[in-house]
Amino acid sequence: MAVVLASAAGVPARAGDIPAIHQVYQAADAGRLDDAQLVMGRVLRVHPNSAKAHYVEAELLARMDRPTQAEMELRKAEQLEAGLPFAKPQSVKELERQIARENTVISGGISPAAPGKAFSWGIWLLVLGLLAIVNAMVCEAQEQSARPKDD
């Protein structure tokens, strides 16, 4: 996840760019994701048709573990400005990979890039079932050994 907002280099904050985008990156880099989200809300209200603003929102939402919303924002950015020419292709691909990884984890799949994040109930139920069978067999064996033998 550290790569997500590190892609600020892919979306530089220059004079003439959307006001306050640099504030979003500063707040996010400082770990103040809620503050960054508030600034992005203002930016998007002022610039609802800015592909760059929607792209930065996608980065922020991905960092906040909200991949479904991040994906929607990324798609909106692509609709507004095909090819996202303001962002480095590598940054866009990394954002897409992160969103896909997080969506896989949320949907219950196991992502090879993020092992251990998904909890598999199926495996635990199988283990519990096997333990119950072994327990039943041990109890049955104990009962049989405790019964008097008829000669």
Give whole-number Cα distances, 58 to 72, 91, 121, in Å. 8, 12, 31
**pLDDT score, position 106:** 66
Q: Tell me which amino acid residue 44 is.
A: L
Whether 88 has a pLDDT exceeding 90, the answer reads yes
pLDDT 10s digits, 23-37:
888 888 899 999 999
Whether 86 has a pLDDT exceeding 60, the answer reads yes
Task: For the chain, give every domain's residue range.
Answer: 2-118
pTM: 0.60
pLDDT 10s digits, 100-150:
988 777 666 554 444 444 556 778 788 888 899 999 998 888 888 877 776
pLDDT 10s digits, 23-73:
888 888 899 999 999 989 989 999 999 999 999 999 999 999 999 999 999
d(CA 33, CA 29): 8
**pLDDT score, position 6:** 40
Give whole-number Cα distances, 121 to 34, 61, 100, 106, 126, in Å. 32, 28, 22, 14, 9
**pLDDT score, position 18:** 58
**pLDDT score, position 93:** 94
**pLDDT score, position 151:** 56
- CATH 3.30.70 assigned to 2-118: no
